[in-house]
Amino acid sequence: MDGSSRDHERRVYARADMVLKVEYPSVEGFLQDYSVNLSRGGTMIRIGRALHVGDLVELSLSFPGLLTAIHRKGVVRWVQEEGPGEHTAGVEFEERGPEDARQLDAMVERIKAGDTDLVAPLVRILVVEDNLHVAKLIADGLSTYRHRSCEPVAFTTRYAVNGKEALAQLATEPPDVLLVDMYLPVMDGESLIRELRASDTFKRLPIIALSAGGDDVRERAFAAGADFFLDKPVRLADVLNTMRTLMATVLKDGKSR
């Protein structure tokens, strides 16, 4: 399957020995697994621990933007070792009757239709930052945005460590918002912003520049074409407030670039 089973937590249920969290990388990954496996009453999972045939499990299925995880109980029917600490298992859902399958089918149709009661609008962020601590702070903060703002928006975050690497990612998977440090190795943030603003494809891409250095760097960022500037050390509140300002424009324009 496209998604992979991440860390799981052990709980006691009436009919389940453990809960396995399965996070798909995208709604498309979930829908593909639904078409191939889930709609037929089961799925395959990859997990970093051994399962055994007959184990009772509960799968918590999710993907970026899904507001409430989909839960299905099942039984492990086969297990295959892929390598040290890696296993693939086939799980057959334990349905109570045809109504369970109909409910899943109905939910999937709502997901396909983009029902905002089930799926939040997804905003893709590219963080260009060579300090991994700062990049993680931003990503972790964005993951809490929906709860802090009470707005139904979800974020996915990717990283690049310099402007050259960012350009390669932009060419293959354009983001909805770019956060870029002004001081970077190989190709700095100012050069990256200028190159994007000279491009028809990215001249409207919302860009947030980050840097220490005071007014001089701020002026250079705006002269290059940045829409916002945040001083370092970055405060999470400033990141979230800036994203809140951008959200109306990004979502209205259908992920403008």
Confirm if 2 and 32 have CB atoms less than 8 A apart: yes
Is residue 158 domain-resident? yes
Residues 30 and 143 in one domain: no
In the numeric block, which tokens belong to residue 136? 């993680």
Q: What is the pTM of this model?
A: 0.68
**Alpha carbon distance 158, 178 (integer Å):** 10
Of 75, 93, 112, which residue is a domain's last? Answer: 112
CA 17 remoteness from chain centre: 28
Buried b (16+ CB within 10 A) or exposed e, 204-236: ebbbbbbbeeeeebbebbeebbbbbbbeeebee
Looking at the domain assignment, is residue 117 inside a domain? Answer: no
Residue 170 has pLDDT above 90, yes or no: yes
pLDDT band for 16, please (50, 70, 90 cuts).
low
Torsion-angle region of 237 (φ positive above 0: left; ψ -120 to 50: alpha; else: beta): alpha
Tokens 């020995």 belong to 17
Mean predicted confidence (pLDDT) in 119-144 = 88
Cα separation, 229 vs 59, in Å, equals: 42
The predicted structure's pLDDT at residue 101: 78
Both 73 and 31 in one domain: the answer is yes
Please report the pLDDT score of residue 13 as a whole number: 34
Q: Does the structure show a pLDDT above 90 at 207?
A: yes
Query: Which residue range forms the structural domain that includes residue 207?
Result: 122-252
- pLDDT at 146 (0 to 100): 62
Please compute the mean of the pLDDT values over residues 158-175 and round it to a whole number: 94
* 79 found inside a domain: yes
Give yes or no: residues 97 and 158 share one domain: no
Check whether 61 has a pLDDT greater than 80. Answer: yes
Mean pLDDT rounded to a whole number for the chain: 84
205 and 106 together in one domain? no
Given 83, 112, 141, which residue is the final one in a domain? 112
Greater model confidence, 253 or 103? 103
Please tell me the total count of domains within the chain: 2
* 26 and 57 both lie in a single domain: yes
- The mean pLDDT value for 148-165 works out to 83
